[in-house]
């Protein structure tokens, strides 16, 4: 049986690397990011390279209901992932009081709220019998002060602490 993993933020960087690694090991991937055109290109590349099934789902995980929509679409496709890679995230730079509050709240929605939602939804399925693993991508920034990245650093500290807690 082939392994299947949704990979959030799969369009570039670490998310793309995780998706490529999984598909290179003959695992099917559900790649998600906001840009469907970029995801379709990646989907074609993955399927051609290793003959796996790649499914592209374009949506904004930080939008209200975005993470639930991803879960619902995966389950509607009758897929029960045995691995989830939560990589999607955003950052920002600048003194906290000078930054746009809405931008920081949107960062919290994506970096924290979406991740918690996906961990809960897929984690419940895994705990109910199918088993599986969840990889939450944090940052070394989680372990140090970041005066010009205060909200980003705080969200990554949350991801690290939360991930360690649910691992227990």
pLDDT digits (tens, 9 = 90+) for 62-84: 999 999 999 999 999 988 899 99
DSSP 87-137: -------S-GGGS-HHHHHHHHIIIIIIHHHHHHHHHHHIIIII--EEEE-
For the residues 93-114, what does the mean pLDDT come to? 97
CA distances from 133 to 36, 84, 103, 120 (A): 26, 6, 31, 12
pTM of the complete model:
0.94
pLDDT digits (tens, 9 = 90+) for 150-164: 999 999 999 999 999
Residue ranges of domains in the chain: 4-167
**What percent of the chain shows pLDDT beyond 70?**
99
pLDDT of res. 149: 96
Class of domain 4-167: alpha beta
Phi, psi of 9 (to 5 degrees): 65, 40
Alpha-carbon distance 32 to 17, whole Å?
13
């Amino acid at each position: 049986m082939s392994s299947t993993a949704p990979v959030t933020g799969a369009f570039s960087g670490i998310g793309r690397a995780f998706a490529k690694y999984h598909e290179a090991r003959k695992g099917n991937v559900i790649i998600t990011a906001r840009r469907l055109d970029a995801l379709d290109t990646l989907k074609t590349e993955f399927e051609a390279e290793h003959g796996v099934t790649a499914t592209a789902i374009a949506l904004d995980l930080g939008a209200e209901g975005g993470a639930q929509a991803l879960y619902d679409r995966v389950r509607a496709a009758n897929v029960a992932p045995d691995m989830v890679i939560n990589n999607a995230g955003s950052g920002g730079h600048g003194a906290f009081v000078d930054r746009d509050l809405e931008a920081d709240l949107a960062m919290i929605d994506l970096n924290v709220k979406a991740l918690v939602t996906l961990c809960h939804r897929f984690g419940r399925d895994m705990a109910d019998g199918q088993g599986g693993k969840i990889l939450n991508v944090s940052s070394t920034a989680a372990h140090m002060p970041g005066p010009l990245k205060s909200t980003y650093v705080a969200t990554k500290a949350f991801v690290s602490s939360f991930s360690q807690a649910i691992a227990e």
